[in-house]
Structure 1
């Protein structure tokens, strides 16, 4: 199933799985929301279109009735038609006939409004030689418009030059607009007006809610009139059935192109109103998403606590054991029996390994102690012989006072010399021992040997193996003084940059180490060769293993650099 060599951590795999499950859940939620919203919007759009279709029939029926009336009046020239009556009124010389024709025309004009409620007014203008005659009928709201039209149309307005049956003209009066249908019969003009209110009232029946905007626009998308104020809006017929942006809001545009007028009538429904209808559905889906999220999160916590954490804890314990910490154990807090059995078996196995390791360690420790004691026996007679030689020389000189001084120094020196070499000592004690040794050497060489120490106070209580400084100071006394009339030995101790190690340097002004020692050959020497050097190296190995380092080099004299782990007496952090 998986490629060979390809592995996954359980934690990463579980986290990825839960993340994928959650993302899939969210995607399903979003997809469902989009589908439902789209379906619901489509249904609303269909309902609005059905309502608009009903309004369309009402509007178009009214317009067709008007066109039919004009058509019959103009083309069907029967007695009693507008055309014939106008002709009689204009051309007949009989006053009675003319008056009867005018009365008949007045009745026709008055009767037009009874056909449909959508006609706001009906006017007939007969351009006779005596300033013309006006016949009119209309509601009270159109009175001002009719008076304005009388004044305007009497002056050969552009409205009177249009004899087309296919278009309606827009006439504006104050805050209201009217659609005018004008028909010319020789010297007679028939004018029928539809107010924007009558058109909007019909469209209002198709609204989805009370906040919908009913409108009419021309073929260029310029707004003619609307039920609510819309600034700088272009409402083009080609956007029918789509959402359009008007100002800061989005609206669903639904309408129809009027064949009679050429104008576009329709309704704008706010997107927020449509989506508001989905609030209940959205809340339901949101609740489902929240519950699903809680269940996923809870199951994730369960798996993390009772499966992932025990596995992670077990891996961490294994790493600690790998680093040598056999006190670690797997502490399982899970109700899963399989993990408990696995942890108990592992801990039992570690206990057995720890017991075997302790047994082996004690065996190795006994061997190390024996080796340390052997190394100590190798170095103590060497120092002791040097001391006796000094006393012998003073006795030959008869300097009994100096013998007393030397004897006191030798006593202090000997106490430290016979310290158990397997123990660690404070750096302070090593320096005190070094002072006693130098007292002896200064007496021996008549103060031609000088020792300088650079030891920070904070390191004075740190722990070191005994004799590691004294051995190299003695080596400097032995070899440097043989070539110099005055021997200067410098001892310096400092911490490494990471504060984990302590660096001890012993530097003299002699001829330096021989080339045979600079290549670390002493590491393979037998104990009889360079006893002190080999002794220190072996003891460092036993005590610190590979955590200590000993380097020999020459820098205007012999330079010894010893690096050991820093152990503060107060911390009790023994190796």
Structure 2
């Protein structure tokens, strides 16, 4: 077997792959479990950090709500006992409305209360707490002795247990009054996992390690975090993060969900390796029949095409795969298409040569030179020798540019110089009636464009917008723009004449203008741009406000397969 054959190379590569699979299998048994464990723990810690931040944020918000209620209504609560019975009634309504306003937000705590002197309790409890728990909670608040801390103003978050339900509570004691807020530990855990997409279990515990709540209802209930770890250490990875306000949050990641798929993949690798030992000889045999032989036939047919055969000849009747059959047909279609493209390219070159001849013929217009000669004759009668010399100079520059350019491309700055030269000839013919201005970016000025591109539109301005004893203004500017993700040179030519005829403008926009119609020069420009760049959207004509015509040209900044002047 030759070492450079497809069969040999494929067999060697397949053998190397099988060896690598065995090596990976041995290493993965030792290393992959630990890597997965560490990654799982890191992911759980990151999630716990987010939940920890969310819990602290919620608790801070609850504290702010409590502080605002205290600061805004402590005076109203302080003089509650001095009011009449009706005054106390309306004052209690006012305070309850304040509590209800704070509880109306979606992220509010589960309860806000104000305990007034004389054991009067004003409480607002969230709808997340069911009625039985709500009654038990209100009874607990009424019966509890709320003791201030050392500075007599407020206490930290305290864990309250009411009939087996754990609440986090923060309160302030002032002048015999108690202002407090509380949240159910289960509600707090639900707030930080509202999306429901996290499949891990979570538990909240207080500073003494007592479990406040967890979301694994299917497990046997336990009382403390240590009991949870001892009971379910074999089934879960447990990661804890402290929460300074009350205790810890613990994540429970099921080991089965982490390692089961990994073990399946390992056994699958073993099975694939064993199967490959049996399949390799069979694959090599079918490779020679189904791939190597059709490839050799294809190479032979391709050599015949290189010798000049117009079609790809493939032996008929051979038993080939569907893919090779499609490949042969695609190659045959490609060879035919290349032949057609060659013919089309030759035809396009002929058409382009005809267009070049026509373009040159269009430039040699008898009326233009007759007008120039008439202008010279008129100037001789007026003894304006300086103007005659200027006109002859500009005319010679015009002719030199015309016969040099042909249908090649020239730098935009040269084309604009030619257009300005034409305008100056017209200035001699129409003194004090022409104002023109050009504004060209440096990069755009170096870009190649077809010759007579701008001069054609400038000449059209003089033909249709020049009137006796009326000032004609022409403004030419060019710059670089990005259009449809490609770089273009944008050229704008504007005048203050009467603008384009509306009916002709509609026919031009719908590509219905024929070569024999009005504005033949503009039609030829569009045809030239189509031949050069294979696009129909490079010319846009419109009428300005309040008057005048506007021409917009887009020339691709990168020109390929084109001659240069």
Is TM more than 0.5 here?
no
- The two structures have a TM-score, normalised by structure 2, of 0.41
- The two structures have a TM-score, normalised by structure 1, of 0.41
The higher radius of gyration belongs to 1
Which of the pair has the greater relative contact order for Cα pairs under 8 Å at 6+ separation? 2
